[in-house]
A and B are shown apart, each in its own frame.
Chain A
Amino acid sequence: MKLLYFLILGISSFQLFAIDIFIVCSPDINITKTEIKESYIGNKQLAGSIKLNLVENKSLQNEFLTKVIGIDKSKYDALWAKKSFQDGINAPKVKGSDSDVIDFVKNNSGAIGYVSSPAGLKVIAKF
Protein backbone atom coordinates (compact mmCIF):
# COMPACT_ATOMS: atom_id res chain seq x y z
CA MET A 1 0.00 0.00 0.00
CA LYS A 2 2.83 2.37 0.97
CA LEU A 3 4.60 1.53 -2.27
CA LEU A 4 1.46 2.42 -4.27
CA TYR A 5 1.13 5.71 -2.33
CA PHE A 6 4.73 6.74 -3.08
CA LEU A 7 4.32 5.67 -6.71
CA ILE A 8 1.25 7.91 -7.14
CA LEU A 9 2.97 10.77 -5.28
CA GLY A 10 6.05 10.35 -7.44
CA ILE A 11 4.08 10.42 -10.70
CA SER A 12 2.09 13.48 -9.54
CA SER A 13 5.27 15.34 -8.57
CA PHE A 14 6.89 14.46 -11.87
CA GLN A 15 3.87 15.79 -13.74
CA LEU A 16 3.86 19.01 -11.70
CA PHE A 17 7.54 19.51 -12.46
CA ALA A 18 7.04 18.65 -16.09
CA ILE A 19 4.87 21.65 -17.00
CA ASP A 20 5.84 22.69 -20.52
CA ILE A 21 6.73 26.33 -21.00
CA PHE A 22 6.34 27.75 -24.49
CA ILE A 23 8.19 30.95 -25.29
CA VAL A 24 6.01 32.87 -27.74
CA CYS A 25 6.52 36.09 -29.66
CA SER A 26 4.81 38.47 -32.04
CA PRO A 27 5.31 37.64 -35.75
CA ASP A 28 7.44 40.75 -36.43
CA ILE A 29 10.56 39.54 -34.60
CA ASN A 30 13.07 36.75 -35.01
CA ILE A 31 14.90 35.68 -31.90
CA THR A 32 16.88 32.54 -31.12
CA LYS A 33 16.47 30.23 -28.14
CA THR A 34 19.76 31.41 -26.64
CA GLU A 35 18.72 35.05 -26.89
CA ILE A 36 15.64 34.49 -24.71
CA LYS A 37 17.70 34.38 -21.52
CA GLU A 38 19.75 37.42 -22.57
CA SER A 39 16.51 39.34 -23.17
CA TYR A 40 14.96 38.43 -19.82
CA ILE A 41 18.04 39.52 -17.89
CA GLY A 42 18.17 42.85 -19.70
CA ASN A 43 21.21 42.24 -21.91
CA LYS A 44 19.28 42.34 -25.17
CA GLN A 45 16.81 45.11 -25.88
CA LEU A 46 16.44 45.06 -29.65
CA ALA A 47 15.62 42.41 -32.26
CA GLY A 48 16.99 43.99 -35.41
CA SER A 49 15.60 47.49 -35.10
CA ILE A 50 12.49 46.50 -33.11
CA LYS A 51 12.38 47.14 -29.37
CA LEU A 52 11.68 43.96 -27.41
CA ASN A 53 8.50 44.15 -25.36
CA LEU A 54 8.88 41.47 -22.71
CA VAL A 55 6.08 40.22 -20.52
CA GLU A 56 6.02 37.91 -17.49
CA ASN A 57 3.30 35.36 -16.75
CA LYS A 58 2.67 35.45 -13.01
CA SER A 59 1.09 31.99 -12.99
CA LEU A 60 4.23 30.42 -14.51
CA GLN A 61 6.94 32.80 -13.34
CA ASN A 62 8.61 30.55 -10.77
CA GLU A 63 8.83 27.63 -13.21
CA PHE A 64 10.10 29.96 -15.96
CA LEU A 65 12.80 31.44 -13.76
CA THR A 66 13.98 28.04 -12.56
CA LYS A 67 13.87 26.26 -15.92
CA VAL A 68 14.83 28.98 -18.37
CA ILE A 69 16.76 31.68 -16.50
CA GLY A 70 18.26 29.56 -13.75
CA ILE A 71 17.71 31.79 -10.71
CA ASP A 72 15.03 32.26 -8.05
CA LYS A 73 12.57 35.16 -7.93
CA SER A 74 14.32 37.20 -5.23
CA LYS A 75 17.60 37.17 -7.19
CA TYR A 76 15.72 37.97 -10.39
CA ASP A 77 14.00 40.95 -8.74
CA ALA A 78 17.32 42.17 -7.33
CA LEU A 79 18.95 41.80 -10.75
CA TRP A 80 16.26 43.96 -12.35
CA ALA A 81 16.40 46.55 -9.56
CA LYS A 82 20.11 47.01 -10.32
CA LYS A 83 19.61 46.87 -14.09
CA SER A 84 16.89 49.51 -14.03
CA PHE A 85 18.83 51.80 -11.68
CA GLN A 86 22.09 51.43 -13.60
CA ASP A 87 21.00 51.26 -17.22
CA GLY A 88 17.62 53.03 -17.24
CA ILE A 89 15.70 50.05 -18.63
CA ASN A 90 12.39 48.72 -17.33
CA ALA A 91 11.72 45.20 -16.04
CA PRO A 92 9.23 43.13 -18.08
CA LYS A 93 5.56 43.89 -17.44
CA VAL A 94 3.75 41.26 -15.37
CA LYS A 95 0.53 39.65 -16.63
CA GLY A 96 -1.58 37.34 -14.52
CA SER A 97 -2.34 34.37 -16.76
CA ASP A 98 -1.82 32.62 -20.10
CA SER A 99 -4.75 34.47 -21.68
CA ASP A 100 -3.41 37.90 -20.61
CA VAL A 101 0.01 37.05 -22.07
CA ILE A 102 -1.54 35.75 -25.30
CA ASP A 103 -3.57 38.96 -25.69
CA PHE A 104 -0.46 41.06 -25.06
CA VAL A 105 1.70 39.14 -27.57
CA LYS A 106 -1.03 39.25 -30.21
CA ASN A 107 -1.47 43.01 -29.89
CA ASN A 108 2.05 44.37 -29.39
CA SER A 109 5.03 44.74 -31.69
CA GLY A 110 8.24 43.08 -30.45
CA ALA A 111 6.33 41.16 -27.77
CA ILE A 112 7.77 38.07 -26.08
CA GLY A 113 6.05 36.06 -23.36
CA TYR A 114 5.74 32.56 -21.97
CA VAL A 115 2.66 30.39 -21.65
CA SER A 116 1.69 26.79 -20.92
CA SER A 117 -0.21 26.51 -24.22
CA PRO A 118 0.81 28.59 -27.25
CA ALA A 119 -2.70 29.05 -28.72
CA GLY A 120 -1.45 29.44 -32.27
CA LEU A 121 1.20 32.06 -31.49
CA LYS A 122 4.69 31.94 -32.97
CA VAL A 123 6.76 29.66 -30.71
CA ILE A 124 10.47 30.39 -30.25
CA ALA A 125 11.24 27.54 -27.88
CA LYS A 126 9.74 24.95 -25.57
CA PHE A 127 11.27 24.16 -22.17
Chain B
Amino acid sequence: MSKLLLQKIIFGILFFSSAVFAEELGLPLHGFADASGGFSSRSTPIDQRISGFKLGTVDLYLTPEFDDKVKSLIEIAFEPDRGTGGINLDVERLQLGYTVTNNDTIWFGRFHTPFGVWNNAYHHGSQLQTSIYRPKFIDFEDAGGIVPAHSVGIWDKGIIRLKKSRINYNTYLVNGSRTILDGTSGPGALDMNNYRNDKNNFMVGGTISSYHDLGITDSFEIGLHGFLTTINSYNGDTYDLTAVHSTDVKMFGGFFSFNKNNWELLSEYYGFYNKDKLVSGAPLLKSHAAFAQFTYNINSIYSSYFRAENSSLNQNDSYFKDQLSGRSYTRYSLGFKKNINSRAAFKLEFLHTSKDENLNPYNIVQYSYAIRF
Protein backbone atom coordinates (compact mmCIF):
# COMPACT_ATOMS: atom_id res chain seq x y z
CA MET B 1 0.00 0.00 0.00
CA SER B 2 1.50 3.34 -1.01
CA LYS B 3 2.21 5.97 1.62
CA LEU B 4 -0.08 8.42 -0.17
CA LEU B 5 -3.00 5.98 -0.19
CA LEU B 6 -2.44 5.25 3.49
CA GLN B 7 -2.48 8.98 4.25
CA LYS B 8 -5.74 9.36 2.37
CA ILE B 9 -7.35 6.47 4.27
CA ILE B 10 -6.21 7.85 7.63
CA PHE B 11 -7.43 11.32 6.71
CA GLY B 12 -10.77 9.88 5.59
CA ILE B 13 -11.20 7.94 8.85
CA LEU B 14 -10.29 11.04 10.87
CA PHE B 15 -12.72 13.17 8.92
CA PHE B 16 -15.57 10.67 9.28
CA SER B 17 -14.81 10.28 13.02
CA SER B 18 -14.85 14.03 13.55
CA ALA B 19 -18.04 14.25 11.49
CA VAL B 20 -19.74 11.66 13.69
CA PHE B 21 -18.49 13.50 16.78
CA ALA B 22 -19.79 16.78 15.33
CA GLU B 23 -23.19 15.14 14.67
CA GLU B 24 -23.36 14.04 18.33
CA LEU B 25 -22.72 17.64 19.37
CA GLY B 26 -25.69 18.72 17.26
CA LEU B 27 -23.67 19.96 14.30
CA PRO B 28 -25.29 18.53 11.20
CA LEU B 29 -23.18 16.80 8.56
CA HIS B 30 -24.52 17.41 5.08
CA GLY B 31 -23.50 15.83 1.84
CA PHE B 32 -24.09 14.90 -1.75
CA ALA B 33 -23.37 11.72 -3.68
CA ASP B 34 -23.99 10.55 -7.20
CA ALA B 35 -23.39 7.61 -9.51
CA SER B 36 -23.62 7.77 -13.26
CA GLY B 37 -23.11 5.89 -16.47
CA GLY B 38 -23.11 6.59 -20.14
CA PHE B 39 -21.54 6.40 -23.54
CA SER B 40 -19.25 8.75 -25.43
CA SER B 41 -18.57 8.39 -29.12
CA ARG B 42 -14.98 9.51 -28.40
CA SER B 43 -13.81 8.07 -25.11
CA THR B 44 -10.63 9.64 -23.75
CA PRO B 45 -9.72 10.46 -20.19
CA ILE B 46 -9.62 14.23 -20.71
CA ASP B 47 -12.63 16.47 -20.29
CA GLN B 48 -15.89 14.63 -19.91
CA ARG B 49 -15.70 11.96 -22.57
CA ILE B 50 -16.31 8.78 -20.63
CA SER B 51 -17.98 5.51 -21.54
CA GLY B 52 -19.15 3.05 -18.91
CA PHE B 53 -20.27 3.38 -15.33
CA LYS B 54 -18.75 6.01 -13.14
CA LEU B 55 -18.48 6.66 -9.44
CA GLY B 56 -19.53 10.19 -8.82
CA THR B 57 -18.42 12.47 -6.03
CA VAL B 58 -19.03 11.87 -2.35
CA ASP B 59 -19.16 15.42 -1.07
CA LEU B 60 -19.39 16.12 2.66
CA TYR B 61 -19.76 19.51 4.23
CA LEU B 62 -20.11 21.05 7.66
CA THR B 63 -21.22 24.55 8.57
CA PRO B 64 -20.14 25.11 12.19
CA GLU B 65 -20.98 28.51 13.66
CA PHE B 66 -18.94 29.55 16.66
CA ASP B 67 -20.55 32.68 18.05
CA ASP B 68 -22.60 35.63 16.89
CA LYS B 69 -20.29 36.56 14.04
CA VAL B 70 -17.96 33.66 13.30
CA LYS B 71 -19.01 30.94 10.88
CA SER B 72 -17.37 28.43 8.59
CA LEU B 73 -17.96 26.07 5.72
CA ILE B 74 -15.83 22.97 5.29
CA GLU B 75 -16.38 20.83 2.20
CA ILE B 76 -14.49 17.62 1.49
CA ALA B 77 -14.92 15.61 -1.70
CA PHE B 78 -13.90 12.05 -2.57
CA GLU B 79 -13.92 11.60 -6.32
CA PRO B 80 -12.38 9.30 -8.92
CA ASP B 81 -9.27 10.54 -10.70
CA ARG B 82 -10.10 11.09 -14.35
CA GLY B 83 -6.68 9.85 -15.45
CA THR B 84 -6.18 6.77 -13.28
CA GLY B 85 -9.56 5.89 -11.74
CA GLY B 86 -8.08 6.06 -8.23
CA ILE B 87 -9.96 7.95 -5.55
CA ASN B 88 -8.81 11.50 -4.86
CA LEU B 89 -9.52 13.41 -1.69
CA ASP B 90 -9.85 17.17 -1.95
CA VAL B 91 -10.59 19.96 0.49
CA GLU B 92 -12.91 21.69 -1.95
CA ARG B 93 -13.80 24.60 0.32
CA LEU B 94 -12.38 25.71 3.62
CA GLN B 95 -14.09 29.01 4.32
CA LEU B 96 -13.76 30.81 7.62
CA GLY B 97 -16.22 33.67 7.74
CA TYR B 98 -16.74 36.81 9.76
CA THR B 99 -20.22 38.33 9.58
CA VAL B 100 -19.57 42.08 9.55
CA THR B 101 -23.25 42.98 9.27
CA ASN B 102 -26.43 41.28 8.06
CA ASN B 103 -25.38 42.41 4.60
CA ASP B 104 -21.66 41.71 4.53
CA THR B 105 -19.45 38.68 5.23
CA ILE B 106 -15.71 38.38 4.82
CA TRP B 107 -14.44 34.88 4.03
CA PHE B 108 -10.88 33.63 4.45
CA GLY B 109 -9.50 30.38 3.02
CA ARG B 110 -10.33 28.38 -0.06
CA PHE B 111 -13.59 29.01 -1.88
CA HIS B 112 -15.21 28.83 -5.27
CA THR B 113 -14.16 31.92 -7.18
CA PRO B 114 -17.15 34.25 -7.28
CA PHE B 115 -17.70 34.82 -10.99
CA GLY B 116 -21.01 34.48 -12.79
CA VAL B 117 -23.81 32.59 -11.10
CA TRP B 118 -23.11 28.91 -11.69
CA ASN B 119 -19.77 28.58 -9.92
CA ASN B 120 -21.22 29.64 -6.57
CA ALA B 121 -24.75 28.32 -6.96
CA TYR B 122 -24.08 24.60 -7.32
CA HIS B 123 -20.48 23.90 -6.25
CA HIS B 124 -20.10 20.11 -6.00
CA GLY B 125 -23.76 19.48 -5.18
CA SER B 126 -24.82 17.36 -8.13
CA GLN B 127 -28.37 16.89 -6.81
CA LEU B 128 -28.96 20.67 -6.72
CA GLN B 129 -27.76 21.17 -10.28
CA THR B 130 -30.34 20.73 -13.04
CA SER B 131 -27.90 19.29 -15.56
CA ILE B 132 -25.35 16.49 -15.08
CA TYR B 133 -22.40 18.42 -16.49
CA ARG B 134 -21.40 21.95 -15.72
CA PRO B 135 -20.76 24.15 -18.76
CA LYS B 136 -17.42 22.76 -19.97
CA PHE B 137 -15.35 25.94 -19.84
CA ILE B 138 -16.33 26.70 -16.22
CA ASP B 139 -15.95 23.11 -15.05
CA PHE B 140 -13.47 22.44 -12.24
CA GLU B 141 -9.79 22.81 -13.11
CA ASP B 142 -9.19 19.04 -13.23
CA ALA B 143 -12.30 18.39 -15.29
CA GLY B 144 -11.81 20.64 -18.29
CA GLY B 145 -12.39 24.12 -16.89
CA ILE B 146 -10.30 26.96 -18.29
CA VAL B 147 -10.93 29.62 -15.62
CA PRO B 148 -9.77 29.31 -11.99
CA ALA B 149 -12.89 27.81 -10.37
CA HIS B 150 -11.25 27.57 -6.93
CA SER B 151 -9.25 30.26 -5.17
CA VAL B 152 -7.31 30.70 -1.95
CA GLY B 153 -7.36 34.11 -0.31
CA ILE B 154 -9.86 36.68 0.99
CA TRP B 155 -13.38 37.30 -0.30
CA ASP B 156 -15.84 39.99 0.70
CA LYS B 157 -19.45 39.16 -0.14
CA GLY B 158 -22.20 41.66 0.42
CA ILE B 159 -25.46 43.22 -0.55
CA ILE B 160 -26.77 46.78 -0.59
CA ARG B 161 -30.52 46.82 0.01
CA LEU B 162 -32.55 49.23 -2.05
CA LYS B 163 -36.30 49.88 -1.86
CA LYS B 164 -37.44 47.24 -4.33
CA SER B 165 -34.24 45.42 -5.21
CA ARG B 166 -30.69 44.96 -4.04
CA ILE B 167 -27.16 45.24 -5.32
CA ASN B 168 -25.05 42.09 -4.82
CA TYR B 169 -21.30 42.48 -4.82
CA ASN B 170 -18.23 40.28 -4.40
CA THR B 171 -14.61 41.35 -4.27
CA TYR B 172 -11.65 39.05 -3.79
CA LEU B 173 -7.89 39.00 -3.54
CA VAL B 174 -6.43 35.51 -3.96
CA ASN B 175 -3.31 33.63 -4.98
CA GLY B 176 -2.84 33.76 -8.72
CA SER B 177 -3.18 30.35 -10.36
CA ARG B 178 -0.46 28.64 -12.40
CA THR B 179 -0.53 26.06 -15.17
CA ILE B 180 1.29 22.79 -14.56
CA LEU B 181 2.33 21.46 -17.94
CA ASP B 182 2.14 17.77 -18.62
CA GLY B 183 5.58 16.14 -18.93
CA THR B 184 7.65 17.85 -21.61
CA SER B 185 5.71 21.07 -22.01
CA GLY B 186 2.51 19.34 -23.11
CA PRO B 187 -0.69 21.13 -22.20
CA GLY B 188 -1.74 20.67 -18.58
CA ALA B 189 -4.26 22.08 -16.14
CA LEU B 190 -4.69 25.09 -13.88
CA ASP B 191 -3.59 24.85 -10.26
CA MET B 192 -5.01 27.35 -7.76
CA ASN B 193 -1.88 27.49 -5.55
CA ASN B 194 -3.27 26.27 -2.25
CA TYR B 195 -0.17 26.87 -0.22
CA ARG B 196 1.47 30.08 -1.37
CA ASN B 197 1.55 32.70 -4.02
CA ASP B 198 3.22 32.10 -7.35
CA LYS B 199 6.00 34.66 -7.90
CA ASN B 200 3.87 37.41 -6.30
CA ASN B 201 1.08 36.89 -8.80
CA PHE B 202 -2.23 37.68 -7.18
CA MET B 203 -5.64 37.54 -8.75
CA VAL B 204 -7.99 40.39 -7.98
CA GLY B 205 -11.58 40.39 -9.14
CA GLY B 206 -15.19 40.95 -8.41
CA THR B 207 -18.81 40.97 -9.46
CA ILE B 208 -21.60 43.50 -9.17
CA SER B 209 -25.21 42.77 -9.99
CA SER B 210 -28.71 44.10 -9.68
CA TYR B 211 -30.97 41.50 -8.01
CA HIS B 212 -34.77 41.61 -7.92
CA ASP B 213 -36.93 39.28 -5.84
CA LEU B 214 -39.89 38.04 -7.88
CA GLY B 215 -41.17 35.82 -5.06
CA ILE B 216 -39.66 33.65 -2.33
CA THR B 217 -37.85 31.40 -4.79
CA ASP B 218 -38.15 33.53 -7.96
CA SER B 219 -35.68 36.20 -8.96
CA PHE B 220 -34.07 38.23 -11.70
CA GLU B 221 -30.38 39.16 -11.65
CA ILE B 222 -28.12 40.89 -14.13
CA GLY B 223 -24.49 41.72 -13.47
CA LEU B 224 -20.89 42.20 -14.49
CA HIS B 225 -17.81 40.21 -13.48
CA GLY B 226 -14.11 40.31 -14.04
CA PHE B 227 -10.63 39.44 -12.77
CA LEU B 228 -7.01 40.43 -13.39
CA THR B 229 -4.06 38.13 -12.87
CA THR B 230 -0.84 36.74 -14.29
CA ILE B 231 -0.70 33.02 -15.03
CA ASN B 232 2.65 31.30 -15.43
CA SER B 233 3.16 27.86 -16.98
CA TYR B 234 5.69 25.43 -15.48
CA ASN B 235 7.28 22.10 -16.37
CA GLY B 236 6.53 20.63 -12.95
CA ASP B 237 4.60 21.35 -9.81
CA THR B 238 7.40 22.38 -7.44
CA TYR B 239 7.62 26.05 -6.57
CA ASP B 240 10.23 28.50 -7.87
CA LEU B 241 10.75 26.87 -11.28
CA THR B 242 11.38 29.11 -14.26
CA ALA B 243 8.17 29.93 -16.08
CA VAL B 244 7.88 28.57 -19.60
CA HIS B 245 5.16 31.10 -20.40
CA SER B 246 3.77 34.04 -18.50
CA THR B 247 0.49 35.66 -19.49
CA ASP B 248 -1.32 38.75 -18.23
CA VAL B 249 -4.91 37.55 -18.09
CA LYS B 250 -7.79 40.01 -17.98
CA MET B 251 -11.34 38.67 -17.95
CA PHE B 252 -14.42 40.88 -18.19
CA GLY B 253 -17.93 39.73 -18.85
CA GLY B 254 -21.49 39.60 -17.66
CA PHE B 255 -24.19 37.25 -16.43
CA PHE B 256 -27.93 37.08 -16.29
CA SER B 257 -30.41 34.83 -14.48
CA PHE B 258 -34.18 34.77 -14.50
CA ASN B 259 -36.30 32.39 -12.45
CA LYS B 260 -40.06 32.81 -12.46
CA ASN B 261 -42.83 30.26 -12.07
CA ASN B 262 -41.76 27.30 -14.18
CA TRP B 263 -39.08 29.03 -16.22
CA GLU B 264 -35.36 29.43 -15.59
CA LEU B 265 -32.86 31.18 -17.81
CA LEU B 266 -29.18 31.44 -16.97
CA SER B 267 -26.48 32.91 -19.17
CA GLU B 268 -22.84 33.91 -18.63
CA TYR B 269 -20.29 35.60 -20.88
CA TYR B 270 -16.51 35.68 -20.41
CA GLY B 271 -14.28 37.93 -22.54
CA PHE B 272 -10.49 37.46 -22.30
CA TYR B 273 -7.92 40.16 -23.15
CA ASN B 274 -4.56 38.48 -22.64
CA LYS B 275 -0.96 39.45 -23.34
CA ASP B 276 2.26 37.44 -23.28
CA LYS B 277 4.56 38.94 -20.63
CA LEU B 278 7.78 37.32 -21.83
CA VAL B 279 7.65 38.72 -25.38
CA SER B 280 8.24 42.46 -25.72
CA GLY B 281 5.58 44.18 -27.81
CA ALA B 282 3.33 41.12 -27.70
CA PRO B 283 -0.13 41.84 -29.10
CA LEU B 284 -3.34 41.79 -27.08
CA LEU B 285 -5.10 38.49 -27.78
CA LYS B 286 -8.87 38.33 -27.49
CA SER B 287 -10.95 35.25 -26.77
CA HIS B 288 -14.41 34.59 -25.44
CA ALA B 289 -16.64 31.89 -23.98
CA ALA B 290 -20.36 31.91 -23.17
CA PHE B 291 -23.31 29.69 -22.38
CA ALA B 292 -27.07 30.02 -22.03
CA GLN B 293 -29.33 27.45 -20.37
CA PHE B 294 -33.13 27.35 -20.52
CA THR B 295 -35.04 25.16 -18.06
CA TYR B 296 -38.73 24.41 -17.80
CA ASN B 297 -39.99 22.92 -14.52
CA ILE B 298 -43.25 21.08 -13.93
CA ASN B 299 -44.62 20.86 -10.36
CA SER B 300 -41.09 21.00 -8.88
CA ILE B 301 -40.74 17.36 -10.00
CA TYR B 302 -39.83 17.32 -13.69
CA SER B 303 -37.36 19.62 -15.41
CA SER B 304 -36.25 19.67 -19.01
CA TYR B 305 -33.41 21.86 -20.16
CA PHE B 306 -31.44 22.98 -23.16
CA ARG B 307 -28.00 24.55 -23.00
CA ALA B 308 -25.81 26.08 -25.70
CA GLU B 309 -22.11 26.71 -25.08
CA ASN B 310 -19.55 28.32 -27.31
CA SER B 311 -15.93 29.30 -26.88
CA SER B 312 -13.51 30.92 -29.27
CA LEU B 313 -10.06 30.68 -27.70
CA ASN B 314 -7.03 32.19 -29.43
CA GLN B 315 -4.41 29.45 -29.87
CA ASN B 316 -1.57 32.00 -29.97
CA ASP B 317 -2.49 32.76 -26.36
CA SER B 318 -0.28 30.67 -24.03
CA TYR B 319 -2.95 30.77 -21.32
CA PHE B 320 -5.24 28.63 -23.48
CA LYS B 321 -2.58 26.79 -25.48
CA ASP B 322 -1.02 25.45 -22.28
CA GLN B 323 -4.31 24.02 -21.00
CA LEU B 324 -5.45 20.58 -22.11
CA SER B 325 -9.00 21.90 -22.49
CA GLY B 326 -8.06 25.28 -23.88
CA ARG B 327 -9.47 24.65 -27.36
CA SER B 328 -12.46 26.33 -28.93
CA TYR B 329 -15.64 24.31 -28.95
CA THR B 330 -19.39 24.43 -29.40
CA ARG B 331 -21.67 22.21 -27.35
CA TYR B 332 -25.41 21.68 -27.18
CA SER B 333 -26.96 19.79 -24.27
CA LEU B 334 -30.47 18.52 -23.90
CA GLY B 335 -31.58 16.92 -20.66
CA PHE B 336 -34.27 15.80 -18.33
CA LYS B 337 -34.35 15.71 -14.53
CA LYS B 338 -36.85 14.04 -12.27
CA ASN B 339 -36.86 14.87 -8.56
CA ILE B 340 -37.80 11.52 -7.02
CA ASN B 341 -38.24 13.36 -3.74
CA SER B 342 -36.75 16.53 -2.27
CA ARG B 343 -33.43 14.74 -1.71
CA ALA B 344 -32.97 12.50 -4.74
CA ALA B 345 -32.94 13.13 -8.47
CA PHE B 346 -32.53 11.12 -11.65
CA LYS B 347 -31.09 12.86 -14.71
CA LEU B 348 -30.61 11.95 -18.33
CA GLU B 349 -28.52 14.12 -20.65
CA PHE B 350 -27.43 14.18 -24.27
CA LEU B 351 -24.51 16.35 -25.39
CA HIS B 352 -23.24 17.13 -28.86
CA THR B 353 -19.81 18.77 -29.04
CA SER B 354 -18.17 20.11 -32.18
CA LYS B 355 -15.08 22.12 -33.08
CA ASP B 356 -13.29 20.66 -30.04
CA GLU B 357 -9.58 20.34 -30.94
CA ASN B 358 -10.59 20.66 -34.60
CA LEU B 359 -11.39 16.94 -34.57
CA ASN B 360 -14.62 15.20 -35.44
CA PRO B 361 -17.71 16.09 -33.43
CA TYR B 362 -18.61 13.70 -30.64
CA ASN B 363 -21.68 12.84 -28.64
CA ILE B 364 -22.23 11.85 -25.04
CA VAL B 365 -25.32 10.33 -23.52
CA GLN B 366 -25.31 9.95 -19.76
CA TYR B 367 -27.56 9.25 -16.79
CA SER B 368 -26.94 10.27 -13.20
CA TYR B 369 -28.60 9.34 -9.96
CA ALA B 370 -27.86 11.99 -7.33
CA ILE B 371 -28.81 12.39 -3.68
CA ARG B 372 -28.25 14.82 -0.84
CA PHE B 373 -28.34 14.07 2.86
Contacts and interface: CB of A to CB of B under 8 A. Distances in A.
B63 A86 contact: no
A23 to B, nearest CB: 17
Interface string A75-89: 101110110111111
A46 B102 contact: yes
For chain B, the bracket of interface size reads 20 to 34
A51 B69 CA distance: 7
Contacts of A74: 300, 342
Contacts of A67: none
B61 A71 contact: no
B123 interface: yes
Nearest to B161: A43
B95 interface: yes
A45 B216 contact: no
A44 interface: yes
Contacts of B300: 74-75, 78
A123 interface: no
Contacts of A88: 63, 71-73, 95, 97
Contacts of A87: 105
Contacts of B72: 88
* Most-contacted residue by chain A among B69, B101, B216, B300 (CB, 10 A): B216
Contacts of B101: 46
B67 interface: yes
B9 interface: no
Nearest to A49: B68
B63 A90 contact: yes
A81 B129 CA distance: 12
* Most-contacted residue by chain A among B102, B105, B121 (CB, 10 A): B102
B172 to A, nearest CB: 16
Given A81-B128, A86-B121, A88-B73, A46 B216 contact: no
Interface in A1-47: 41, 43-46
Contacts of A49: 68
A75 B216 CA distance: 9
For chain A, the bracket of interface size reads 20 to 34
Nearest to A35: B102
Contacts of B196: none
A11 to B, nearest CB: 32
Nearest to B67: A51
A85 B69 contact: no
B200 interface: no
Interface in B83-111: 95, 97, 99, 101-102, 105
B260 interface: no
* Most-contacted residue by chain B among A75, A81, A84 (CB, 10 A): A81
B65 A86 contact: no
A119 interface: no
B95 A90 contact: no
A70 interface: yes
Nearest to A78: B342
A81 B342 CA distance: 10
B28 interface: yes
A78 B372 CA distance: 10
B72 to A, nearest CB: 6
A50 B342 contact: no
Contact of A45 (B95, B102, B128): B102
Contacts of A69: 216
B210 to A, nearest CB: 17
A69 B217 CA distance: 11
A101 to B, nearest CB: 17
A90 B29 CA distance: 11
B65 A89 contact: yes
B216 A82 contact: no
Contacts of B71: 88-89
A50 to B, nearest CB: 6
A71 B215 CA distance: 10
B38 interface: no
Contact of B123 (A50, A51, A86): A86
Given A45-B102, A70-B216, A82-B128, A50 B68 contact: yes
Nearest to B112: A86
B121 A82 contact: yes
13 contacts: A41-B216, A70-B216, A71-B217, A74-B300, A75-B300, A77-B342, A79-B216, A81-B128, A85-B128, A86-B123, A88-B63, A88-B97, A110-B68
Q: Which 4 A-B pairs have the closest CB atoms?
A: A88-B73, A51-B68, A74-B342, A88-B63
Interface of A: 41, 43-46, 49-51, 69-71, 74-75, 77-79, 81-82, 84-90, 110
